[in-house]
Structure 1
């Protein structure tokens, strides 16, 4: 007689949460990709992007970021669709989907670290002028608050994703998958 494997609420809950999140993410990413293809196809935008590296005061990576914007949005779309597929497979207790989902979570952690690095790189090249001398606010404190908030948020996402990876790799959860 074959023993039935109990389906944990943890896997079901994680699968449904990520089905909803990645489903919305897929819809948003489709809209963003359509927008990018329409907006960035104009000759004016193409000309401005090609001159980004030579603009006075432009950071050395400006052209790379602007030139790769379409690919970044395409990558986000592929990640959202892949996460949606893996989430559906996770709900069905497919082991390949569990492994793929773990890979997507690990890529999510890497994305958070990369995003923090890009933030530091971008802020280091921004000319913070003391606008308070002209009667305006000093923007440095605002950027410090934004940096701190995004760092805390990135750390929280990375910790949650790491915990999910650990749980999905546990023997009890692995036993649910075929």
Structure 2
């Protein structure tokens, strides 16, 4: 096995671990409510905006790559990962300090909301290893494999980012003020 294959194998072990640990920790922390802590009710519009910015940057990153601006592409993708991490921290912090908000819409809109929410949550779990593997392939300079995987990763990540904003917009009228 050559050194690149060994490095990729090592990365994949780390990626597999991170891809399991993040959803498990988030699920566990969802059950934790910090006592005597002021609710961080100001966070949802911030982390929804982070999702929106991530969506815009993802499109910008693809355009940069198509124009051959690979350093820009790399920097934008790194920013997208950092934004996703910031989103995750804020999302968990909000839910550890605030009660969950129930969606109050009725009729078909309620079904649309739950379809978007459930697909968003499931794909946000799926996207973790996809993003990390796509990034690792570029880091290891396996650009052919990177491009091939990015064709799957990009639309899913874009969907997660956009639906994060949509979910926020749909539930925001029901937040306790």
> Which band: TM-score by shorter chain?
0.3 to 0.5
Which is higher, the Rg of structure 1 or of structure 2? Answer: 1
Q: Choose between structure 1 and 2 for higher RCO, CA contacts under 8 A separated by at least 6 residues.
A: 2
TM-score by length of 1: 0.38
TM-score by length of 2: 0.38
